[in-house]
Amino acid sequence: MTQIHLYDTTLRDGTQREGISLSVDDKLKIARKLDEFGIHYIEGGWPGSNPKDIEFFRRAATMAWQNAKICAFGSTRRKDSDPAEDANLKLLIDAQTPVVTLVGKSWDLHVRDVLETTMEENLAMIGDSVAHCKSKGREVVYDAEHFFDGYKANPEYAVATLKTAAVNGADSVVLCDTNGGSLPWEVEQITTEVREQLGPNIAIGIHTHDDGELAVANTLASVRAGAVQVQGTINGYGERVANANLCSLIPDIQLKMEKQCVPPENLQKLTELSRFVAEVANLEHDDHLPFVGGSAFAHKGGIHVAAMLKNPLSYQHIEPETVGNVQRSVVSELSGRGNLVDKARQFGLDVGSLDLRKVLGQIKELEAQGFTFEGAEASVEMMLRRTHPAYVPPFELIDFSVSVQQRRRRGLSAEAIVKVRVGPKMMHTVAEGNGPVNALDMALRKALLDVYPQLSSLKLADYKVRILDGENATAATTRVLIDSVQGHRTWSTVGASANIIEASWQALVDSMEYALLG
């Protein structure tokens, strides 16, 4: 298969996204993960822009890299200057990377209005800079900034910038859709024309932005026309809205276009890589990312799930394991029997012993009242288990009460009284908390801990409240989602009611009961 070289610019372009700031250690962690995955080029940053990037290159130079070449990024020399004396080029060489990526202007508008120089001097800036870096023994990637806009405005000049880079020794030239406004058929046609004019001896790359939500499509169009180097970022992180997302491009190119990006066994690590970078960047991983998102292979409609149980290919374009993801079904009011069959199997339950029709009816009725089971799979499992004829609940609620008082010397406090039956014993406990839900939690634990000491390790990780019908003001229905953690186990439960205490109690009891299943 044709080899496509992957050029990752997460550590430079990706950090230009609002809300991302990576330390040197963060950048090195990501670079190591990219290298292990099989990325061919890792752009570490612009050593002329800040001390952090200079430190990154200093430390990267002492590390062994298995698959990747580290690249330093910077611009061509300043106008009317000697490349040997150019401060930016000096820093690029001092970075000691095997690859230098030079960005230059290919749009006459930029030459005239931004650089404020002549067309001839811009060509000299490109040629001199490439030749200087090649003389220092570097592989040179030439990024033709704004190339597609430049080609549309003045195709002869835009191509002349590429030819100048190639003649002076550039190992590859990259066509950049810097403003992200090109369309796939334009990109394919222009890449084809450029390839014909440059000939077969110069490698063409593609670098796109997602301002028209076409970065992935534009990259694929360029690859189809002959580009052999693909630039992008993990999860599409980048300036303005996004860069081309390598987590979509890699499987698209390898699985759909049948061109080699990484070894097939490495492709199975793609979802892990995507989530790792999100974690290091301190961003929530987007569940709706193609291929690697938590919802990428999640099925909600009952008809879909029923078909999937017969043949997974009926509603999936690839096997999720190919990219390290998993298939799952989602339970909601849109569910059919198949959704519950799939869930029961995931939970390790005997489908034949469960009353699925009853549970499906409960789910549809409860969702109409404000429950949502998409993010509360533990509550779904509890509903299924409770229909098993042999299931014995670990405790039974008799009643509870909660009071909140404002006392002059003690301030605001909450007190809960809980009465539960545990086997033959009736437990009647009282506890205080800093709020009504905390007091309920403390009272229930107090009642159960002597019998179930394992509950001492149960922690509440998150407590989410949502008002469902705000037009009813303080009488509105409230949905409560509780995320719980116990050791390495995590789960979510749900409750809904016009009374927030009741909604919280429903979610809390499900969480406690679920904890005791482990």
CATH topology of domain 356-394+457-518: Double Stranded RNA Binding Domain (3.30.160)
Please, are residues 251 and 269 in contact by the beta-carbon 8 Å criterion?
no
CATH placement of domain 5-262 = 3.20.20.70
Q: Tell me the pTM.
A: 0.73
Helices (H), 318-469: 337-346, 356-369, 377-386, 436-448
What's the token pair of residue 55? 């430190």
Q: What gap in Å lies between CA 400 and CA 417, rounded to an integer? A: 5
Task: Give the pLDDT confidence score for residue 355 in this predicted structure.
Answer: 72
Q: What gap in Å lies between CA 299 and CA 360, rounded to an integer? A: 16
Q: What gap in Å lies between CA 4 and CA 18, rounded to an integer? A: 30
Task: Give the pLDDT confidence score for residue 227 in this predicted structure.
Answer: 97
Please, are residues 483 and 460 in contact by the beta-carbon 8 Å criterion?
yes
Q: How far is CA 119 from CA 157, 187, 361, in A?
A: 8, 24, 73
At 304, give phi and psi (nearest 5°).
Answer: -60, -50
What's the token pair of residue 197? 């004019």
Chunk the chain into consecutive blocks of 10 residues (it has 518) and report each block's average pLDDT, rounded to whole numbers: 94 90 92 96 89 92 94 93 91 95 94 92 95 96 96 96 96 96 97 95 96 96 97 95 96 96 94 91 88 78 61 76 78 57 69 73 70 69 78 85 78 86 89 86 89 88 75 69 86 83 86 83
Q: What gap in Å lies between CA 215 and CA 11, rounded to an integer? A: 18
Largest CA distance in the chain: 93
What's the token pair of residue 397? 């609620």
Amino acid identity of residue 313, one-letter, is: L
* 301 three-class SS: coil
Task: Give the pLDDT confidence score for residue 300 in this predicted structure.
Answer: 62
Q: How far is CA 49 from CA 45, 54, 135, in A?
A: 8, 9, 23
Is residue 446 packed enough to be buried (19+ CB in 10 Å), middle (13-18) or exposed (0-12)? middle
What are the boundaries of each domain within the chain?
5-262, 356-394+457-518, 402-451
Q: How far is CA 446 from CA 142, 405, 511, in A?
A: 68, 21, 15
Please, are residues 219 and 230 in contact by the beta-carbon 8 Å criterion?
yes
Crossing angle of helices 356-369 and 377-386, rounded to 10°: 140
Q: What gap in Å lies between CA 297 and CA 292, rounded to an integer? A: 9
Q: Fold identical between 5-262 and 356-394+457-518?
A: no
